[in-house]
């Protein structure tokens, strides 16, 4: 079975919220898929390996799959040998320039050498392909369905009826049902990815490592220091 693509995700989500056709538009569904991919990319970022050429032996061009502000550089191999010998973590850094992010080698390599970059990138899904592995396609669909179920629950809860009180009580039931579905779908996502949740189904807070900014005081051609940033 191939990796999930956009039509597959849409079908899976339609199955999960099948009896809510009048409450969910195709635009809302696609927006939920986009948000689910953002969440999944944060929890399980795509691992990418790409070779680039360092023309001056000091700076390394960003790889084609790099996404500014989202990708994280994990390791650098330069030179590329077999078996791999990654550079020490303090031998490279990423810094910002007015035109974007730049990868720099703190120990110059041979100009024209190949550098192998290991980095993360967001997942992508289109009509024909996807970077989401088969094992997680249902999880991504469940997270998108949970967002839609929350919207449906809110719509039912906000619905007004001017008839008898009993009718208003009946209207509250779909809101509770969809709220429960949203929680169940979200918990299926967490369970599949091994994310800890509390007894109430609330995600446990994550502590992400903070970025470190280091002034290496390396002079440029103008005699100015460069500001390096390691994530």
pTM of this prediction?
A: 0.79
What is the tens place of the pLDDT at every residue in 66-119?
Answer: 999 899 999 999 999 999 999 999 999 998 888 888 899 998 999 999 999 999
- d(Cα 111, Cα 128) in Å, to the nearest integer? 39
**Residue 29 burial (CB count, 10 A):** 19
- d(Cα 94, Cα 76) in Å, to the nearest integer? 11
What is the tens place of the pLDDT at every residue in 121-175?
Answer: 999 999 999 999 999 999 999 999 999 999 999 988 877 543 335 455 555 588 8
CA torsion 158→162→167→170, rounded to 10°? 0
What is the tens place of the pLDDT at every residue in 2-27?
Answer: 557 999 999 999 999 987 777 899 99
């Amino acid at each position: 079975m191939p990796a999930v693509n956009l039509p597959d995700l849409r079908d899976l989500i339609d199955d999960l919220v099948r009896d809510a056709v009048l409450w969910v538009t195709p635009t809302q569904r696609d927006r939920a898929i986009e948000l689910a991919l953002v969440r999944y990319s944060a929890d399980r970022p795509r691992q990418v390996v790409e070779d680039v050429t360092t023309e001056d032996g000091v700076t390394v061009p960003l790889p084609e799959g790099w996404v500014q502000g989202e990708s994280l550089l994990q390791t650098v191999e330069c030179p590329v040998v077999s078996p791999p010998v990654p550079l020490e973590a303090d031998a490279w850094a990423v810094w910002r320039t007015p035109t974007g992010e730049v990868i720099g080698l703190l120990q110059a390599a041979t100009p024209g050498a190949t550098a192998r970059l290991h980095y993360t990138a967001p997942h992508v899904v289109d009509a024909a392909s996807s970077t989401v592995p088969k094992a997680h396609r249902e999880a991504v669909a469940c997270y998108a369905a949970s967002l839609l179920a929350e919207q449906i629950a809110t719509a039912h809860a906000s619905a007004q009826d001017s008839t008898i009180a009993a009718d208003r009580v009946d209207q509250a039931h779909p809101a509770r049902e969809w709220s429960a579905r949203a929680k169940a779908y979200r918990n299926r996502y967490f369970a599949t990815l091994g994310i800890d949740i509390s007894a109430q189904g609330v995600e446990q807070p994550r502590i992400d490592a903070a970025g470190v900014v280091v002034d290496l005081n390396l002079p440029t051609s103008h005699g100015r220091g460069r500001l390096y940033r390691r994530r």
